[in-house]
């Protein structure tokens, strides 16, 4: 570990801290439908869209209708994306004449992009046409992120409102999330990326003569395309689906350390801002910061571990200089880009798995066991450390409800969260939400791990590392992360289907109880705070929340992890690898 | 009761014996259904038992370990049952005593023609009229429609002093099973057999028809949810183990599961609820539902009647204030003379004050020289004619009229003093002699000792107290200030009380109040916690959701504390239970896989001797901790009047952090013992 490395991590965090308040306050205005400086341009566009689609923007929806609208929208989007892939070869913007995509892979990809997961079991530059990339994938990148933000706002309204049946209007929230939040940020973001050298064109692929031919191979095909526009939303919307297979380690996606910082910043910005929006809309600004602090604490635990583990290198490589110096970054550089080094690779891996983004700038599979445990554990804590746009906030709020319920009893009152009593129905919905995660990950992973025909046969590594690969794949799917540990050939019928199902479960089966909980909270009376009220604004509460998240996650996954990365780490110390 | 005696009461031999038998009866799976956590343990125990029998039949190796695991799993279930049976046992003992009070009584039912017929008490129906004479038991709950009697209610209240019950007014309700000591009364029966107060009491204390309370249901859902999570974690662990070439036996997997699921709180949850009700009964308060007890913990606002709750029932003379030109002792003398025949507490207090302050002895007045003038509604004065002196005392208006009959108007000074006293919360009583005003007696409301401290404690807990009084706002404000209540409602009529409750509730607050009169009934029903006094009317008792057998309105504060204690105990044990799992993982996971991966022994931070001893120690700890925590479940977490923030900090430290650390020590100790005993 170097001072330079820590400083880069600190700069990143300082940027996020600085942007939380202005961005959060801006989003509160947007969703409270107060005036913003973008109104003169965007308000006419918004009105036109409602007129064309026949949406009554003043109409409020109950949670059931909100959920139904969201599901309907997602199903239609998913079907369109599936069909687009199945017929792309006959459609325009396909200079490479790429073929139609086979059903299981098309299903997997449609599920993946609709759920904001962006798990890619295919190699994009040899699979997806420009039209599919732009009209299919980039479109989903926008709307799946907007859906997430809308849902988080609906949840906040459930907490903030008293004795109201409704949570807002799904179409309006989604439209405003797209127009006011995602589009402007991505426009600026894409331009900044272009300034760093990210490409943006419709050209067919280039072919270059190799300077140093490798046997028969004398030339290399260099993929092109409208990358920058897709790269921006890939980050701002915590999507993570790369234009190229190499994702953010590809020089056309992420060419410089500065573009790397911009991308990392974009992953966290909206999710961090939403904690401020939470405080603003509920009138409990300190609570918003308490939630932010819990997320930040978990982030620091992760990055410190990952950076330490990667910088320390591999003890088995005796005789190899792994010490950082002016001329080399030291540590475990396998699968990492030299232009990012240890600190920025560990940081990117931590952020992208904290936030259910799933973009990668290094190979997680090549991390040391502990370094690789961090991304896996981040996902297994169900993506609440800032988390996916919107999804992270409503995810952590479920934990808040549980933490308040368990510990709230200890102050001698029926637990209250910001004045809302937490009762049987609320606990039921929170537990349903909580159950989906272990159910999906553990069951699919368990079946895969004992099925030589379709499960373990796809592994590139044996022993604990192979188990980590399976666990990672299903965690990534269920957590809607989308990053790949790699080392597993997932483009098979079994993995395409089950990971596709895992992504849909991890998104929609968790959203429905969450919205039901929000709807129920909104209907409740608000008990005015007093000295006897459970405090949700103090450092003590932050500690409690962090403990609940870690304990619930650890208790659920510790047995499985002990046979994966934990034993692998111990074995590595004993000089054994897989 | 001293601490030692309290302990004795928990482990009372008779209750323990009955509980031991009940723990086995409760193994019935249908009974277990209502406790999903323990049901899982029971199913696990059955599974290991079947496998154990199979292993014994086939003579497989490792029978000793399998046998011990199976036994301890069964003990886990039995211990949980025992906890519940212990809690129920205390209620059952009480119910037995109540049943004795319900002896077969023969009632004398009044027939339309005026004669009576003898019928057994269980044959009585609502609206029957019975006659009860001295020495007879009252056959059922009812209302006196004629007569006055002194009644021994010790069967239900435990209070041996008899109480007066009379027709009309707020003292007309009688309870079946109590005994008339003197006189004869006619009672209209108000409840059908099986629905009487004693019947309800028996059902309540026995917990036979105990409904789960809202918070208990919510907690049960959480525990069931966690159980499913752990079930998933353990069931899927076997495939992962097989993948890792380290398959596990069912004994080990069931052990892991039982250790992880929240058996501690699962086993003690119903005991905590029953014990909470029991604690109320110890305080002579009957809650009609567990819901009311929980609501008591949530109360935001306490409505307290001034008289009898905040102040002693009666005003007392505090000072004699002579008018200009009158000697203090002259006023004191006149005041005492005028009050000698006054048997009201106020009158007595005037005599006492004169004696204490001015050494005036109470005089024996011969009847011929003194003529007492009693208070009447017309004159609104009382007094004495004695040795040619005509002394009168009364409210300022009455005395003004009395004085002015002599032609001279009362001095301005008199009004001023009177108003000053009223402003400071007192009641002025003016004394005049022979139409000449002497001065004013300052009657003061005496705030009960320790009330200010209690209100301070309530405030620290975030509970607001509102004093309800019929006094004028000036007087009310002064007393409110002295007593330290947060707010007051002066010149309160029943409908004002009702409006206040509704206003508070509209703000989302929970309101508690006490009441005894029929006109309190609507407010008692509206309040979230309504404690009716047992001396009160039937209407009040039916409207409230608790009845205080001692009829002590101050007890509302204890009721709130018991409610809070109940919720705190649940929260503390839930936190403790979940925190315990950390240590259990560190005991069991390395034990399971150290054969396949010796490096995993690095996780065996407790240094447990062998894989078998580690798993066994964890299972034994898991079972014994239930027994160890029974006293805590029954007596409740110690309650402290602190703010929520400091309570949370304290309890998180004790039960959260403590819950992480304690099992590490406990499991290690058990491991040492079983290794020393050669059990594993």
Catalytic residue set of B: 305
pLDDT exceeds 70 at position B368? no
* Interface contact B214, partner A, CB < 8 A: yes
DSSP class of residue A489 equals -
What element of type H or E holds A312? helix A285-312
Q: Tell me which chain A residues have a C-beta less than 8 angstroms from the C-beta of B218.
A: 405, 422-424, 426-427
Q: Say yes or no for a CB contact (<8 Å) between A407 and B645.
A: no
Residues contacting B161, CB < 8 A, separation 6+: none
Comparing CB atoms, the residue among A438, A442, A532 nearest residue B463 is A532
* Interface contact B21, partner A, CB < 8 A: no
CB atoms within 10 A of CB A92: 9
Measure the CA angle with vertex B560, ends B559 and B565; round to 5°.
Answer: 95
Comparing CB atoms, the residue among B217, B593, B652 nearest residue A407 is B652
pLDDT exceeds 60 at position B366? no
CA distance B542 to chain A (A): 26
Chains A and B: how many Cβ contacts under 8 Å?
Answer: 220
CA distance A555 to chain B (A): 7
Window from A542-546, B143-147, B233-237 with minimum mean pLDDT: B143-147
Between A50 and B496, residue with greater pLDDT: A50
Q: Which pLDDT does position B7 carry in this prediction?
A: 40
Q: Say yes or no for a CB contact (<8 Å) between A532 and B644.
A: yes
* Interface contact B570, partner A, CB < 8 A: yes
Q: Which pLDDT does position A175 carry in this prediction?
A: 96
Q: Which pLDDT does position A156 carry in this prediction?
A: 97
Window from A170-179, A235-244, B390-399 with minimum mean pLDDT: B390-399
CA distance B224 to chain A (A): 9
Q: How far apart are CA B229 and CA B234, in angstroms?
A: 9
Mutation target to probe the A interface, by most A beta carbons within 10 A, among B211, B217, B221 is B221
Query: What confidence tier does B8 reach under pLDDT thresholds 50, 70, 90?
Result: very low
Q: Which pLDDT does position B364 carry in this prediction?
A: 61
pLDDT digits 0-9 by tens, B249-283: 999 999 999 999 999 999 999 889 888 888 888 88
CA distance A528 to chain B (A): 7
Comparing CB atoms, the residue among A532, A551, A559 nearest residue B589 is A559
For B587, the closest chain A residue by CA position comes to: A559
Q: Which pLDDT does position A47 carry in this prediction?
A: 95
Between B516 and A24, residue with greater pLDDT: A24
Enter the tokens of residue A250: 């590809």
Q: Which pLDDT does position B3 carry in this prediction?
A: 38
For A406, the closest chain B residue by CA position comes to: B571
Enter the tokens of residue A259: 């573009």
Nearest to B288 by CA among B190, B200, B199: B200
Torsional sign, CA A568, A570, A571, A572? positive
pLDDT digits 0-9 by tens, B166-215: 877 667 788 887 888 888 888 888 888 777 777 777 777 676 566 788 88
Mean of pLDDT values over A423-433: 95
Q: Say yes or no for a CB contact (<8 Å) between B222 and A402.
A: yes
Mean of pLDDT values over A99-122: 92
pLDDT exceeds 90 at position B318? no
Mean of pLDDT values over B300-314: 80
Q: Say yes or no for a CB contact (<8 Å) between B644 and A526.
A: no
Q: How far apart are CA A259 and CA A8, in angstroms?
A: 13
Q: Find the length of chain A.
A: 578
Enter the tokens of residue B588: 């069991």
For A433, the closest chain B residue by CA position comes to: B225
> What is the pairing mode between strands A61-62 and A166-168?
antiparallel
CA distance B495 to chain A (A): 24
Residue pair A110/A86 in contact (Cβ under 8 Å)? The answer is no
* Interface contact A439, partner B, CB < 8 A: yes
Which residues 140-199 of chain A have a CB within 8 Å of chain B?
A: 162
* Interface contact A530, partner B, CB < 8 A: yes
In chain A, where are the structural domains located? 20-282
| Mean pLDDT estimate for chain A | 92
Residue percentage of chain A with pLDDT more than 90: 72
> What is the pairing mode between strands B529-533 and B546-548?
parallel
Residue pair B78/B41 in contact (Cβ under 8 Å)? The answer is no
Q: Tell me which chain B residues have a C-beta less than 8 angstroms from the C-beta of A551.
A: 578-579, 581-582
* Interface contact B218, partner A, CB < 8 A: yes
Enter the tokens of residue B359: 């050494």
Between A558 and B137, residue with greater pLDDT: A558
The burial of A57, by beta-carbon neighbours within 10 Å (0-12 exposed, 13-18 middle, 19 or more buried), is given as middle
CA distance A313 to chain B (A): 20
Position of tokens 């190499």? A246
* Interface contact A550, partner B, CB < 8 A: no
pTM (2 d.p.): 0.86
CA distance A550 to chain B (A): 11
Q: How far apart are CA A99 and CA A84, in angstroms?
A: 12
pLDDT exceeds 90 at position A534? no
Q: How far apart are CA B297 and CA B559, in angstroms?
A: 8
Q: Say yes or no for a CB contact (<8 Å) between A567 and B602.
A: no
* Interface contact A119, partner B, CB < 8 A: no
Torsional sign, CA A521, A525, A531, A537? positive
pLDDT exceeds 70 at position A13? yes
For A419, the closest chain B residue by CA position comes to: B508
Q: Say yes or no for a CB contact (<8 Å) between B571 and A408.
A: yes
Query: What confidence tier does B427 reach under pLDDT thresholds 50, 70, 90?
Result: confident
For A413, the closest chain B residue by CA position comes to: B298
DSSP string, B158-187: ---S-EEEESSGGG-EE-TT-EEEESEEEE
Residue pair A528/A410 in contact (Cβ under 8 Å)? The answer is no
Comparing CB atoms, the residue among A414, A532, A544 nearest residue B462 is A532
pLDDT exceeds 60 at position A409? yes
Residues contacting B400, CB < 8 A, separation 6+: B409, B410, B414, B430
Comparing CB atoms, the residue among A450, A534, A554 nearest residue B644 is A534
The burial of A62, by beta-carbon neighbours within 10 Å (0-12 exposed, 13-18 middle, 19 or more buried), is given as middle
Q: What are phi and psi of A416, to 5 degrees?
A: -125, 140
Q: Say yes or no for a CB contact (<8 Å) between B233 and A410.
A: no
Query: What confidence tier does B348 reach under pLDDT thresholds 50, 70, 90?
Result: confident
In Å, how far are B157, B182, B466 from B534, measured between CA atoms? 9, 20, 23
* N-to-C CA span, chain A: 26
* Interface contact A426, partner B, CB < 8 A: yes
Q: Say yes or no for a CB contact (<8 Å) between A551 and B582.
A: yes
Mean of pLDDT values over B346-355: 85
| Mean pLDDT estimate for chain B | 85
CA distance B646 to chain A (A): 9
Residue pair A560/A445 in contact (Cβ under 8 Å)? The answer is yes
Q: Which pLDDT does position A111 carry in this prediction?
A: 94
What element of type H or E holds B110? strand B106-110
Nearest to A239 by CA among A176, A104, A149, A338: A149
Q: Highest-confidence range of A436-445, B158-167, B426-435, by mean pLDDT?
A: A436-445
pLDDT exceeds 60 at position A345? yes
Mutation target to probe the B interface, by most B beta carbons within 10 A, among A411, A538, A554, A564 is A411
Query: What confidence tier does B4 reach under pLDDT thresholds 50, 70, 90?
Result: very low
Mean of pLDDT values over B596-617: 93
* Interface contact B211, partner A, CB < 8 A: no
Q: Which residues pair with B133 in a beta bridge?
A: B184
pLDDT digits 0-9 by tens, A146-159: 999 999 999 999 99
* Interface contact A405, partner B, CB < 8 A: yes
Mutation target to probe the A interface, by most A beta carbons within 10 A, among B597, B641, B654, B655 is B597
Q: Which residue blocks in A89-182 are alpha helix, DSSP H?
A: 103-114, 130-131, 139-160, 170-176
Residue pair A132/A494 in contact (Cβ under 8 Å)? The answer is no
Comparing CB atoms, the residue among B240, B294, B510 nearest residue A563 is B240
Between B309 and A61, residue with greater pLDDT: A61
Q: How far apart are CA B482 and CA B476, in angstroms?
A: 10
CB atoms within 10 A of CB A531: 16
């Amino acid at each position: 570990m170097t001072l330079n490395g820590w400083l880069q991590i600190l700069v990143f965090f300082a940027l996020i801290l600085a942007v939380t308040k202005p961005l959060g306050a801006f989003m509160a205005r947007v969703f409270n439908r107060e005036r913003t400086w973008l109104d003169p341009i965007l308000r006419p566009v918004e009105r036109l869209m409602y007129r064309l689609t026949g949406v009554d923007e003043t109409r409020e929806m109950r949670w059931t209708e909100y959920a139904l609208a969201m599901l309907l929208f997602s199903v239609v989007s998913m079907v369109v994306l599936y069909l687009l892939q199945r017929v792309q070869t006959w459609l325009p913007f396909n200079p490479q004449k790429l073929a139609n995509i086979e059903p299981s892979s098309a299903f997997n990809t449609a599920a993946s992009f609709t759920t904001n997961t962006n798990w890619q079991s295919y190699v994009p530059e040899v699979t997806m046409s420009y039209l599919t990339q732009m009209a299919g994938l980039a479109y989903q990148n926008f709307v799946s992120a907007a859906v997430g933000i809308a849902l988080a706002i609906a949840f906040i309204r459930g907490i903030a409102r008293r004795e109201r049946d409704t949570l807002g209007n799904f179409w309006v929230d989604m439209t405003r999330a797209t127009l006011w939040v995602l589009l402007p940020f991505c426009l600026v973001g894409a331009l900044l990326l272009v300034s760093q050298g990210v490409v943006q064109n419709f050209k067919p692929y280039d072919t270059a003569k190799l300077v140093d031919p490798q046997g028969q191979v004398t030339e290399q095909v260099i993929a092109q395309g409208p990358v920058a526009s897709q790269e921006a939303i890939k980050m701002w919307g915590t999507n993570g689906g790369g234009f190229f297979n190499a994702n953010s380690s590809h020089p056309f996606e992420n060419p410089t350390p500065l573009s790397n910082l911009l991308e990392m910043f974009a992953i966290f910005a909206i999710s961090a801002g939403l904690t401020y929006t939470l405080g603003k809309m509920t009138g409990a600004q300190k609570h918003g910061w308490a939630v932010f602090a819990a997320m930040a604490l978990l982030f620091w635990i992760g990055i410190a571990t990952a950076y330490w583990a990667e910088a320390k290198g591999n003890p088995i490589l005796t005789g190899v200089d792994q010490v950082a110096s002016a001329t080399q970054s030291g540590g475990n550089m396998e699968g990492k880009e030299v232009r990012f080094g240890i600190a920025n690779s560990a940081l990117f891996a931590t952020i992208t798995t904290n936030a259910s983004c799933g973009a990668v700038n290094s190979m997680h599979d090549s991390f040391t066991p502990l370094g690789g445990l961090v991304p896996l554990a981040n996902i297994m804590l169900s993506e609440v450390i800032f988390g996916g746009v919107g999804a992270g906030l409503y995810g952590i709020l479920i934990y808040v409800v549980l933490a308040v319920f368990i510990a709230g009893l200890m102050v001698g009152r029926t637990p209250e969260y910001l004045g809302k009593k937490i009762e049987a129905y609320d606990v039921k919905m929170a537990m349903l939400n909580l159950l989906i995660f272990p159910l999906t990950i553990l069951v699919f992973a368990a079946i895969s791990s004992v099925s030589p025909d379709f499960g373990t046969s796809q592994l590139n590594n044996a022993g604990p590392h192979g188990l980590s690969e399976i666990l990672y794949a299903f965690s990534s799917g269920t957590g809607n992360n989308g990053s790949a540990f790699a080392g597993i050939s997932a483009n098979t019928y079994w993995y395409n289907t089950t990971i596709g199902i895992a992504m849909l479960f991890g998104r929609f089966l968790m959203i429905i109880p969450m919205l039901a909980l929000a709807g129920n909270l909104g209907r409740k009376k608000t008990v005015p705070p007093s000295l006897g009220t459970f405090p949700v604004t103090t450092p003590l509460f932050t500690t409690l929340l962090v403990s609940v998240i870690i304990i619930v996650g650890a208790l659920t996954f510790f047995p499985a992890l002990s046979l994966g990365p934990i034993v692998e780490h111990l074995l590595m110390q004993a000089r054994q690898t897989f | 009761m001293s601490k030692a005696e309290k302990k004795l009461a928990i482990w009372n031999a008779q209750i323990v014996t009955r509980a031991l038998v009940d723990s086995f009866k409760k193994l019935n799976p249908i009974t277990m259904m209502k406790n999903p956590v323990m049901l899982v343990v029971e199913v696990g125990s059955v599974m290991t038992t079947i496998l154990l029998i199979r292993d014994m039949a086939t003579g497989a190796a490792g029978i000793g370990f399998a046998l011990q695991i199976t036994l301890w799993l069964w003990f886990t279930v039995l211990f949980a049952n025992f906890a519940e049976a212990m809690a129920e046992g205390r209620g059952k003992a009480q119910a037995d005593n109540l049943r004795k009070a319900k002896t077969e009584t023969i009632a004398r039912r009044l027939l339309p023609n005026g004669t009576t017929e003898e019928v057994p008490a269980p044959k009585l129906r609502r609206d029957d009229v019975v006659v009860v004479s001295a020495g007879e038991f009252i056959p059922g709950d009812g209302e006196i429609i004629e007569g006055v009697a002194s009644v021994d209610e010790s069967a239900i209240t435990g209070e041996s002093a008899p109480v007066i019950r009379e027709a009309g007014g707020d003292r007309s309700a009688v309870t079946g099973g109590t005994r008339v000591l003197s006189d004869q009364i006619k009672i209209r029966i108000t409840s059908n057999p099986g629905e009487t107060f004693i019947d309800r009491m028996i059902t309540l204390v026995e917990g036979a028809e105990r409904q789960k309370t809202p918070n208990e249901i919510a907690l049960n859902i959480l525990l069931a949810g966690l159980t499913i999570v752990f079930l998933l974690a353990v069931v899927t662990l076997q495939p992962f183990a097989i993948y890792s070439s380290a398959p596990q036996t069912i004994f080990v997997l069931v052990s892991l599961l039982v250790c992880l699921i929240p058996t501690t709180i699962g086993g003690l949850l119903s005991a905590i609820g029953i014990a909470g009700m029991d604690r109320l009964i110890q305080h002579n308060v009957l809650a009609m539902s567990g819901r009311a007890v929980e609501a008591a913990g949530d109360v935001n606002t306490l409505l307290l009647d001034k008289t009898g709750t905040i102040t002693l029932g009666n005003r007392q003379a505090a000072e004699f204030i002579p008018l200009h030109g009158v000697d203090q002792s002259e006023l004191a003398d006149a005041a005492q003379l005028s009050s000698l025949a006054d048997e009201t507490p106020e009158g007595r207090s005037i005599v006492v004050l004169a004696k204490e302050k001015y050494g005036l002895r109470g005089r024996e007045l011969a009847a011929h020289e003194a003529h007492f003038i009693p208070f009447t509604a017309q004159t609104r004065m009382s007094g004495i004619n004695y040795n040619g002196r005509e002394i009168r005392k009364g409210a300022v208006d009455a005395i003004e009229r009395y004085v002015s009959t002599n032609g001279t108007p009362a001095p301005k000074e008199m009004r001023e003093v009177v108003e000053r006293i009223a402003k400071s919360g007192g009641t002025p009583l003016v004394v005049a002699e022979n139409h000449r005003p002497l001065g004013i007696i300052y009657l003061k409301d005496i705030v009960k000792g320790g009330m200010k401290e209690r209100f301070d404690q309530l405030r620290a807990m975030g509970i607001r107290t509102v004093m309800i009084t019929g006094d004028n706002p000036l007087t009310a404000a002064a007393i409110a200030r002295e007593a330290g209540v947060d707010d007051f409602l002066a010149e309160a009529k029943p409908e004002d009380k009702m409006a206040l409750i509704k206003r508070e509730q509209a703000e989302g607050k929970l309101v508690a109040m006490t009441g005894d009169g029929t006109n309190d009934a609507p407010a008692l029903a509206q309040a979230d916690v309504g404690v009716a006094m047992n001396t009160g009317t039937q209407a009040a008792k039916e409207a409230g959701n608790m009845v205080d057998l001692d009829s002590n309105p101050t007890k509302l504060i204890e009721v709130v504390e018991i409610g809070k204690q109940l919720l705190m105990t649940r929260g503390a044990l839930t936190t403790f239970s979940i925190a315990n799992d950390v240590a259990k993982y560190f005991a069991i996971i390395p034990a399971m896989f150290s054969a396949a991966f010796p490096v995993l022994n690095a996780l065996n931070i407790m240094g447990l001797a062998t894989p078998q001893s580690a798993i066994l120690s964890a299972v034994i700890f898991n079972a014994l901790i239930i027994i160890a925590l029974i006293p805590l479940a029954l007596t409740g977490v110690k309650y402290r009047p602190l703010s929520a923030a400091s309570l949370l900090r304290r309890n998180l430290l004790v039960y959260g952090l403590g819950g992480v650390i304690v099992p590490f020590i406990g499991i290690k100790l058990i491991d040492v013992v079983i290794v020393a005993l050669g059990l594993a």
